[in-house]
Amino acid sequence: MIPNDDTIVARATPNGVAAIGIIRLSGVLSLQYIRSCFTFSKAISPNKVYIGYFTDPETGETIDHVCVTYFQNPKSYTGEDSVEVHCHSSSYVIKAILNSFVFLGARLATSGEFSKRAYINGKLSLTQSESVIDLIHSETKLQHQVSLNRVQGKLYTHIQSIRSQLMSLLEQLEGSIDFPDEVPPINRKDAYHIIHSISNELNHILSLQDLGKSISDGVHCLLIGKPNVGKSSIFNALLGENRSIVTETPGTTRDYITERIDYNNVHFHMYDTAGLRDSDDVIEFLGMQKIQSLIKQATIIVWVCDQSTPLTSDDFIVLDHIKHLPNYAIVFNKSDLSSNHVMTIPNAAPIFQLSCSALDSHSISCLKHLIYEHTVSSFQDHDLEFLCNIRQHACLKTLVCLISSLLDRLNVTYHDDMLAIDLRNCINSCSELTGDTITEEVLDGIFSRFCVGK
């Protein structure tokens, strides 16, 4: 990739009135530009903060009292000469400073251009650059931890070590093809063991990606059940407020209501849905269609039954919608009422079942904790190192498939030349995941997700 020869400028802090606003310059002329508008007379050394007046280079008028720091290449975020101007964050001041730099010849940066330069100049790997955006957007401690791990390059280092193991195999294989007298053929049994352990490792990383989704998007928890079993009451109790209408009349919620709660640093999107049942009512029917699509996307489905009465065919209609899924739980509600019918339900394999009452805060806390336990908390802290974003996840899936077919082929008599091609494909796939080989188009797509100034 060709290094940039122009100097870019952007505000690094958000719009709006604030105590301090930061403007960033990056490129070969950064120092020259700041010298043209800064009243500080002595030499500007790197990594020091200088205080002085910023003046308009065209009119000589004072714009603001500012602090300036110069970062000399390669020791800057972008790897280029960079300058940060800390000014008062009025929109007038920010605009005037940006205009001054543009007047001198700087170009306004596009989204993510600073990070793109950091990547081009080898300051950040692609996985690290991508994680910078997640770090900026992280709202919970867990999201922050995941993106920080990636910024620190833990996933990158891991995939790189897999790549170098594959590379050593390929080197020996190609050596034995080209120089059969000097390089011995690879030991297929040893190669099988290496690829097998890589395959296990990658499959483990792949299996963790649902956790990543739960951390970044939040857990989607769907309450379903026939009408009047207490779904809205449980929904309200989980939220701690009366968000959903609770009545004794069945069928009041026509499609679904969703609200977010935060529990142990994870966002939980709770969905209170219309009762699933056979109905001639067109609106209710449409509502039920929506629920069916929510069922497919849910992280966890909580099927609510009323334990104060025996189950009816309407309950089993609900079970029919979910019994093939691995992610549903059963809640027997209304435990406070006298005649309890908690039962083992034939053909049901829930991840947990709980007898509870929407009227009892203790059982609602238990329910919240069980939902958390079965979606997020079973994972270890170090698992967080391996979480990918969407692009990396897609690359990881391809890599897992390639490694798996390579493993199959090592089992059979497969020509060394063909094996070398497969190995090379796996190596390329690793490089794609880490971003070491990536097209300009994909790069632009990645960096356009950033804000301007990052």
Site membership for ligand GDP, residue 147 (CB under 6 A): no
CA distance 362 to 251: 28
Q: How far is the CB of 251 from ligand GDP (least distance, A)?
A: 8
Stretch that binds ligand GDP, among 101-109, 113-121, 132-140, 355-363 (CB under 6 A): 355-363
Evaluated on CA atoms 425, 431, 436, 442, the torsion sign reads: positive
DSSP β-ladder status, 62-71 and 107-108: unpaired
Count of beta carbons in the 10 Å neighbourhood of residue 239: 18
Shortest Cβ distance from residue 351 to ligand GDP (Å)?
A: 21
x/- track of binding to ligand GDP for residues 325-354 (CB under 6 A):
--------xx-xx-----------------
Which residues ranging from 70 to 89 are in contact with ligand GDP (CB under 6 A)?
A: none
Tell me the C-alpha distance between 321 and 299, whole Å. Answer: 15
**In the complex, least distance from residue 322 CB atom to ligand GDP, rounded to whole angstroms:** 16
User: How many residues make contact with ligand GDP (CB under 6 A)?
Assistant: 19
**For ligand GDP, which is the closer residue by CB, 188 or 243?**
243
In whole angstroms, give the CA distance from residue 283 to residue 176. 70
- Which residue type sits at 433? L
| DSSP sequence for 40-90 | --S---TT-EEEEEEE-TTT--EEEEEEEEEE-TTSSSSSS-EEEEEEEE-
User: Smallest gap, in angstroms, from Cβ of residue 290 to ligand GDP?
Assistant: 16
Min dist. Cβ of residue 374 to ligand GDP (A): 22
Mark residues 216-255: x for contact with ligand GDP by CB under 6 A, - for none: ---------x-xxxxxxx------------xxx-------
Tell the smallest beta-carbon distance from residue 323 to ligand GDP (Å).
20
Q: Which of residues 259-288 bind ligand GDP (CB under 6 A)?
A: 275
For 148-160, the DSSP string reads HHHHTTHHHHHHH
CB-nearer residue toward ligand GDP: 246 or 442: 246
**Closest distance of CB 335 from ligand GDP, Å:** 7
Query: Cis omega (within 30 of 0) on the bond before 74?
Result: yes
Q: Which amino acid is at 203?
A: N
With contact defined as beta carbons under 8 Å apart, do 322 and 305 qualify? no
Contact footprint for ligand GDP (CB under 6 A): 225, 227-233, 246-248, 275, 333-334, 336-337, 357-359
